[in-house]
Amino acid sequence: MCLARRRGLELQDEPRHPGQRRGGSALHPAGEQRCRFSPGPAGGRGDGRRPALRAAPGALRARLQQRRDQGGARWTQAKVRDYLPNAPPGVRAAARIARGGIVGWFQGRMEAGPRALGSRSIIASPIGAAVKDRINEAVKYREPWRPFAPSIKAERIGDFVLNPIEAPFMILTFDVRPEVADQIAAVVHVDNTVRPQTVCAGDLPRWYRVIDEFEKLTGVPMILNTSFNVKGEPIVNTPQDAVRTFYGSGLDGLAIGDFWLEK
């Protein structure tokens, strides 16, 4: 905050990003101000979501390629099923979860804040309740009563909740419309509420693409989204963390940068 004041920036009393005062990945106050005041895509101020939260795809691609070339047992050509430099991995991920699979999603730099917002996520279909039990038992290794939350297209939030507003950080709870509660049972809590992340195409294009492709296959514009970790461990940070968790849990697929892995 002192840095911002020295630059003559006027601070708001209530920070837009919840990472300053919640658990999860810590966000340094200077980083918060940089996100808020650095230029956005159109040359204006940032909105606290876009700046510095995505790494260059080439860096991750190079690290994965190096690992594979070294001949490690888990990086053989048989394990890395596809390299998709010209096709978004969201297409493959959406197809896998639409068939009932559970997928790890690792893209760019890690999120800052208490929730997984499309960089370090485990994703699945929100349709029906069966997948919720499978994630808790075979992937997250946690109590069966723990709920899950969805990521949904921002423009469709009103179709599923009452009194909708933008909720990009997955920290607000809404009452679910009764007529759709059974359709998205995997992400509806016992009190008929939901805690969504609203996703805009301009903010998170790859993440939005997963949801869009899933909607094309199922008609539902949302996906189940939970943090990419297992019980007792932090959210995965590096490609090595992601691959280790993938092989050590019940995940069916892993989209990591432009690579797609399956068991």
SS (H, E, C) 172-216: CCEEECHHHCCCCHHHCCCCCEECCEEECCCCCHHHHHHHHHHHH
Range of the domain at 195: 57-262
Higher-scoring residue by pLDDT: 205, 71: 205
Rg for the chain, CA atoms, rounded: 19
Determine the pLDDT at residue 145: 81
Domain count of the chain?
A: 2
Nearest to 109, CA basis, from 45, 37, 182, 35: 35
Q: Are residues 117 and 185 in the same domain?
A: yes
Q: Is the pLDDT of residue 29 over 80?
A: no
pLDDT digits (tens, 9 = 90+) for 229-252: 998 999 999 999 999 999 999 999
pLDDT digits (tens, 9 = 90+) for 122-178: 999 999 999 999 999 999 988 888 889 999 999 999 999 999 999 999 999 999 999
Q: Are residues 160 and 230 in the same domain?
A: yes
Q: How far apart (Å, rounded) are the C-alpha atoms in residues 226 and 235?
A: 10
Contact 99, 262 (CB under 8 A): no
Backbone angles phi, psi at 121, to 5 degrees: -130, 155
Cα angle at 79 between 205 and 55, to 5 degrees? 30
Q: Are residues 101 and 44 in the same domain?
A: no
Q: Is the pLDDT of residue 48 over 90?
A: no
Q: Residues 93-108, buried b or exposed e (16+ Cβ, 10 A)? A: bbbbbbeebbbbbbbb
Q: How far apart (Å, rounded) are the C-alpha atoms in residues 124 and 91?
A: 14
Last residue of a domain, one of 29, 52, 75: 52
| Burial class, 41, CB count within 10 angstroms (exposed 0-12 / middle 13-18 / buried 19+) | exposed
Backbone angles phi, psi at 119, to 5 degrees: -115, -35
Q: Are residues 17 and 91 in the same domain?
A: no
The domain spanning residue 118 has which CATH number?
Answer: 3.90.870.20
Which residues, 6 or more positions from 114, have their beta carbon under 8 angstroms from its beta carbon?
18, 19, 22, 23, 24, 25, 171
Q: Are residues 105 and 149 in the same domain?
A: yes
pLDDT above 70 covers a percentage of the chain that reads: 67
Q: Are residues 193 and 68 in the same domain?
A: yes
Determine the pLDDT at residue 62: 59
Q: Are residues 141 and 78 in the same domain?
A: yes
Q: How far apart (Å, rounded) are the C-alpha atoms in residues 93 and 86?
A: 15
Pairing state of beta strands 197-199 and 149-153?
Answer: parallel
Q: Are residues 131 and 194 in the same domain?
A: yes
Q: Are residues 71 and 174 in the same domain?
A: yes
